Amino acid sequence: MTDYLAINKTAWNTRTDIHFSSTFYDVDGFLNGKSTLHAIELGQVGDVSGKSLLHLQCHFGLDTLSWARLGAKVTGVDLSSTAVEKAQNLAEQTGLDAHFICSDVYHFGTQCQQHYDIVYTSYGVLCWLPSMDNWAETVAKCLKPGGKIHLVEFHPYLDIKFGYDYFHKAQPDIEEESTYSENAGDDKQTIAVWAHPIANVITALIKAGIEIEEVCEYPYSPYACFDGMKAIAENQFVFDEDGPEFPLLYSIKGRKKA
């Protein structure tokens, strides 16, 4: 099988360096106290004060540390060693109590001994993983009984819009793509990605012992991360404000059975 972890780790180490100096990620704004969390996830997750929160695929930690600023006891996990190193530096710089681990999600799941109140993961995460069943088992294993999973993700309808298959295939698509921050330039990284229809994500969570509490779809994205997006409100971007509305994001809230 393709060594997808090696391919994606190399890509994300390169992308992290690009992202860290981008206005898209605005690290200076974060260091000056700005939260990188948006209304959707803040509303869905609610009060995190005093709760243990595991952030899967945390990139270089801005969202993880924003949850820490709201009082969560945070652990971030990411495949990219560059991202984890930068996240640890940001935690030290800001004096926030946070723990970051460099690991593949599935490998972390097999090793994880701790159980968390919340597992959070968001915006561009599932396409890097080959199997929703393994992902959902990792989520369930890391949660305390009664603990909550919060996923906020780009809608798989976008796969169709960008010319990809909607349905899942075992083999990844291997692509040469530039990243989404404004300073990406012409550099392309090789990436290995999979499509995951919402039905597969929900079914995998149910099979892993998660009760689904809410599924939402949103006709906008808080990030202008695709070419041709326009603002319709603060932190709300769409492709065509005059065209028919279609879903750009979805979210799932679930609870591990007690």
Ligand X SMILES: C[S@@+](CC[C@H](N)C(=O)[O-])C[C@H]1O[C@@H](n2cnc3c(N)ncnc32)[C@H](O)[C@@H]1O
Residues engaged in binding ligand X (CB under 6 A): 5, 8, 12, 57, 59, 62-63, 78-80, 83, 104-105, 122-125, 128-129
Closest approach, Cβ 132 to ligand X, in A, equals 13
Closest approach, Cβ 78 to ligand X, in A, equals 5
Write down how long the chain is.
Answer: 258
Q: Which is nearer to ligand X, 100 or 128 (CB)?
A: 128
Three-state DSSP class for 179? coil
Q: Which is nearer to ligand X, 19 or 73 (CB)?
A: 19
What CA–CA distance (Å, rounded) separates 202 from 191?
Answer: 25
Closest CA to 14 of 224, 153, 177: 177
**Residue 77 tokens, joined:** 């996990």
Closest approach, Cβ 59 to ligand X, in A, equals 3
Q: Which is nearer to ligand X, 187 or 240 (CB)?
A: 187
Angle formed at CA 210 by CA 208 and CA 216, multiple of 5 degrees:
125
Q: Rounded to the nearest 5°, which phi and psi values hold at 85? A: -60, -45
Please give the full DSSP string across 209-243, using - where no structure is assigned: TEEEEEEEEESSBSS--STT-EEEETTEEES-TTS
Closest approach, Cβ 16 to ligand X, in A, equals 7
Closest approach, Cβ 18 to ligand X, in A, equals 12
Closest approach, Cβ 62 to ligand X, in A, equals 6
Residue number of the CB closest to ligand X reads: 124
Report the relative pairing of strands 116-122 and 143-154 from DSSP bridges.
Answer: parallel
Q: Which is nearer to ligand X, 13 or 245 (CB)?
A: 13
Q: Which is nearer to ligand X, 128 or 250 (CB)?
A: 128
Half-sphere exposure of 231 toward its Cβ, with a 13 Å CA cutoff? 4
Q: Which is nearer to ligand X, 107 or 257 (CB)?
A: 107
